[in-house]
Amino acid sequence: MEPVLQLEITLPEHGSREILHALHRQLRGAIVEGRLAAGLRLPSSRSLARSCGVARNTVLAAYDLLLAEGYIVTRPGGGTFVGEVAARGGALPSDPASASGIAAEGDPRLNTRWRMPPALVRLDPSANYDYDFILGLPDKRTFAFDVWRRLSARALRGLSRAPAVYAEPEGRAALRGAIAHHVSYARAVACEAGDVVVTAGAQQAFDLLARVLVTPGKSVVALEDPGYPPLRRAFALAGACIAGASVDAEGIVVDALPPDARVICVTPSHQFPLGVPMSAARRRALLAFAQRHGAVVIEDDYDGEFRHDDRPLDALQTLDRHASVCYVGTFSKCLFPGLRMGYVVAPAWVRDALVAARQCADWHGNLLAQDTLAAFMREGHLVRHIRKMRTQYRARRDALLEALAHHCGTFMLPVAPAAGLHLAAGIDTSVRADALVSAAARAGIRVQALASFAFEPRTALEGLAFGFGMIEAQRIDAAIARLAACVR
């Protein structure tokens, strides 16, 4: 079928010598601005001439100019198509110097912090690996999707009967109440529904906290080093002055914190990526530091539900007596990342600002998902799922520790995690972690070097991180045997 050009073209009166120029200019502008997308088939010269009321030779001449400039392409027997040109709003193909300058320095129309945006994080579980020790992804193969489907259908029926209104930005009251009950039961975090702000995963929680806590160019934010790169990006792009804080076997080194730090981000239950829990002494010291200096502590408890040993140490929020701690949780690890649901248990002094920031960001979250999750938690399905997966993940952790001791004990020393879905292992100085990661990838094994999570290069970070959320316990021994062969 002959394509129809969905573009309004305004041409001068007949007899004017500007008809060809106007037609060429308008077609080229539509292509550069993206209104005519790359790959779009254009009308034939005869059809476009008829619709514009001009001679066919005029259209042919305009097409010839666009073809010579690279804006359109022809395919023998197939027609005329919009070509691949510069990105919308970017430099024109006739200005390569301008295009390369923008690519190198970023477009000056952008906020200076966003002219060279950070590389996107890609956690691709479908990559071609025989054995995948990727961090950050849980196993959802045994998740009760049939139950979720039933509860979602019920929630959808409820939404169909409700008025079409925008909801509260802090999250559904039923979900906030369920979260408050869950963290009280699972982590001894004392809070009520009114203390909870629902977010689109932990990452939005970090972004909202950065918006309301950071004064650009002034606020010093201390982050664990090594630590979680997306957390660092959220605060850096908010204009914070980032200060790396060293981590040892007891967690963050409080004595090394800069005295002007006003925000301190920690993962006390299961340090990311080293896997050590923060000791009781360090927890007390960190809270004392926050009180003395008027600092805020952001406690990221990303996978604390999956504890493998004895009862974990109390959360910082539980120990806090001066409203210094913002407790961040997520359902991405205990359920699955596609749900995009997290929360902040916030002190009263920051709660209103967080709620307003959430409304500015996206007004409120997905109501269908919120109502479904609230029912899923209220009926006990979350607790049952966590209990089931805790048993599986503990078996995987134990299998991984046993395999590392058996096959890699001469050059690798793992740290047994008390909780979570990954562990870290230091390696002998005779083995380079980056070379081992590359060799393992060629052998069909995905692991990550600890150095990839450091903000500054450190020779002391020679080691690997093993996630066991995506690999079955019975496959771990063969995977580590193959990894050991890479070293040999």
Cβ atoms of 301 and 420 closer than 8 Å? no
pLDDT at 104: 56
pLDDT at 89: 45
**Does residue 55 form part of some domain?**
yes
**Does residue 41 form part of some domain?**
yes
**Does residue 107 form part of some domain?**
no
Q: Do 431 and 292 share a domain, yes or no?
A: no
Q: Do 417 and 342 share a domain, yes or no?
A: no
Within 10 A of 50 (CB to CB), how many other CB atoms are there? 13
Q: Do 162 and 290 share a domain, yes or no?
A: yes
3-state secondary structure 86-133: CCCCCCCCCCHHHHHHHHHHCCCCCCHHHCCCCCCCCCCCCCCCCEEC
**Does residue 51 form part of some domain?**
yes
Q: Do 354 and 409 share a domain, yes or no?
A: no
Task: Answer with the one of 369, 384, 399 that is the final residue of a domain.
Answer: 384
Cβ atoms of 345 and 327 closer than 8 Å? yes
What CATH number should be reported for the domain holding residue 425?
3.90.1150.10
The pair of three-digit structure tokens given for residue 146, joined into one six-digit string = 């049939």
Query: Whole-angstrom Cα distance, residue 313 to residue 265?
Result: 18
Query: Whole-angstrom Cα distance, residue 272 to residue 293?
Result: 25
Q: Scanning the structure block, which residue is given the tokens 């995009």?
A: 340
pLDDT at 91: 43
**Does residue 164 form part of some domain?**
yes
Q: Do 379 and 265 share a domain, yes or no?
A: yes
Helices vs. strands in the chain: H and E counts, helices first: 15, 17
**Does residue 171 form part of some domain?**
yes
The SS3 call for residue 345 is strand
Within 10 A of 254 (CB to CB), how many other CB atoms are there? 22
E-strand ranges in 200-334 read 220-225, 241-248, 251-252, 261-266, 296-300, 325-330
Residue 392, phi then psi, degrees to nearest 5: -65, -45
Q: Do 354 and 392 share a domain, yes or no?
A: no
Cβ atoms of 99 and 105 closer than 8 Å? no
The pair of three-digit structure tokens given for residue 127, joined into one six-digit string = 């990559």
The pair of three-digit structure tokens given for residue 392, joined into one six-digit string = 């599986």
Q: Do 226 and 375 share a domain, yes or no?
A: yes
Residue 458 sits at the vertex; the CA angle it makes with 452 and 459, to the nearest 5 degrees, is: 105
Within 10 A of 333 (CB to CB), how many other CB atoms are there? 24
Query: Whole-angstrom Cα distance, residue 80 to residue 67?
Result: 9
Provide the terminal-to-terminal Cα distance of the chain, rounded to the nearest Å: 63
Q: Do 365 and 303 share a domain, yes or no?
A: yes
Q: Do 270 and 183 share a domain, yes or no?
A: yes
Q: How many residues make up the chain in this entry? A: 488
CA 199 vs CA 65, 202, 235, 352, 355: distances in Å:
52, 7, 17, 14, 10
Q: Do 216 and 354 share a domain, yes or no?
A: yes
**Does residue 14 form part of some domain?**
no
Domain of residue 318, residue span = 145-384
E-strand ranges in 118-208 read 131-132, 196-199
Count of domains forming the chain: 3
Query: Whole-angstrom Cα distance, residue 314 to residue 303?
Result: 14
Q: Do 262 and 404 share a domain, yes or no?
A: no
Cβ atoms of 217 and 239 closer than 8 Å? yes
**Does residue 3 form part of some domain?**
no
pLDDT at 118: 78
Per-residue pLDDT of the chain (488 residues; tens, 9 = 90+): 667 777 888 888 887 778 888 899 999 988 888 888 888 889 888 888 888 888 888 888 888 888 888 888 887 667 888 988 644 444 444 444 454 555 556 788 888 888 888 777 777 665 789 999 999 899 999 999 999 999 999 999 999 999 999 999 999 999 999 999 999 988 889 899 999 999 999 999 999 999 999 999 999 999 999 999 999 999 999 999 999 999 999 999 999 999 999 999 999 999 999 999 999 999 999 999 999 999 999 999 999 899 987 777 889 999 999 999 999 999 999 999 999 999 999 999 999 999 999 999 999 999 999 999 999 999 999 999 999 999 999 999 999 999 999 999 999 999 999 999 999 999 988 888 989 999 999 999 999 999 989 987 654 578 999 999 999 999 999 999 999 999 87
